[in-house]
Amino acid sequence: MLRNFGKGGDGEVIKTICGPEAERCPSGAGATLSGAFDSSGRSLENSLLGEFDSGRVYVEIVGANGKPEIRGQLGPNTAMVMVMSYVAHLAPIEGSQSKGAGTAVVSETYLPGGKTSVFYSATVADTSSAPTNVALVGGPAPSPEALATRSSLPELKLSPSRNRETGGSLSGVYVVNNALPNPLLASRLMSANKGQSGIVVATSRFPHGELYGALVPVR
């Protein structure tokens, strides 16, 4: 659910993504959730938009026991420039026999001077081993060499799960010059591959990729 309050305090619920007042939550220790504001709930009036813009809205995940387990404040994009964001639902690559799943986000902020700042983040669960790398690839499905050096995303930060043996998070931010021959941009890959691009997550057991998801533009 989404709540409205700053860091360190509890706020009112402004949107329930799943639960008693919305669609049924998925069972299991991990899942991918999504939702949108529409006419059936609280509208995005100016005051609420201001709360989003000031970073006071946060995401809260509540466990089956009814107790909050995970919380994260939402950060606004304050750059007065064009931004393009993509999301991907990660699933096992054919042949990996993995039970893993996850979600990835790629956001490109187009800066003055022909440069683009790229933020990426992927969170996975139930993989065969801990995640080790992430890459952007062109086309509808990953190739055997999907995680070649040229496609691995730079400035990678790894955050292992609690048991450190499976699942975890990968994220990073980097700036690329658009004038380079092959800048590592989701938008450029989309353009060169008939609107198809994806993200691959590798693990220690599957160094060339265990999970793959097609990137979908967020409109």
pLDDT tens digit sequence for 7-54: 777 888 888 888 877 788 877 766 677 767 665 556 666 677 677 767
Is there a single domain that holds both residue 186 and residue 100?
Answer: yes
| Mean pLDDT for the stretch of residues 53-73 | 82
Is there a single domain that holds both residue 69 and residue 122?
Answer: no
Please report the pLDDT score of residue 211 as a whole number: 92
- Tens-digit pLDDT profile for residues 104-158: 999 998 888 888 999 999 999 999 999 999 999 887 766 555 555 458 899 999 9
Residue 97 has pLDDT above 90, yes or no: no
Query: Within 10 Å of residue 95's Cβ, how many Cβ atoms?
Result: 8
Is there a single domain that holds both residue 121 and residue 212?
Answer: yes
Is there a single domain that holds both residue 48 and residue 116?
Answer: no
Q: Report CA-CA distances (Å) from 55 to 17, 64, 139, 150.
A: 19, 27, 36, 35
Is there a single domain that holds both residue 44 and residue 109?
Answer: no
Is there a single domain that holds both residue 13 and residue 63?
Answer: yes
Please report the pLDDT score of residue 213 as a whole number: 92
Is there a single domain that holds both residue 185 and residue 120?
Answer: yes
Structural domains in the chain (count)? 2
Tell me the C-alpha distance between 184 and 193, whole Å: 14
For the question of whether the overall pTM of this predicted structure is more than 0.75, the answer is: no
Q: Binning pLDDT at 50, 70 and 90, where does residue 82 land?
A: confident
Torsion over CA: 98, 31, 106, 159 (sign): negative
Structural domain boundaries, residue 168: 83-217
Please report the pLDDT score of residue 84 as a whole number: 86
Q: What is the rounded average pLDDT for all residues in the chain?
A: 82
Contacts of 60 (CB under 8 A, 6+ apart): 1, 2, 3, 68, 70, 71
Tell me the C-alpha distance between 154 and 86, whole Å: 18
In the sheet with 57-62, reading across from the earlier edge strand, the strands are 12-15, 2-4, 57-62, 68-73
Residue 96 has pLDDT above 60, yes or no: yes
Tell me the C-alpha distance between 127 and 115, whole Å: 35
Residue 22 near residue 16, CB atoms below 8 Å: yes
Q: Which of 55, 73, 91 is the last residue of a domain?
A: 73
Assigned token pair, 178: 């658009």
Is there a single domain that holds both residue 13 and residue 67?
Answer: yes
Is there a single domain that holds both residue 57 and residue 120?
Answer: no
Residue 10 near residue 32, CB atoms below 8 Å: no
Share of the chain above pLDDT 90, in %: 25
Is there a single domain that holds both residue 13 and residue 48?
Answer: yes
At residue 50, φ and ψ (nearest 5 deg) are -65, -35
Is there a single domain that holds both residue 31 and residue 124?
Answer: no
Tell me the C-alpha distance between 96 and 124, whole Å: 15
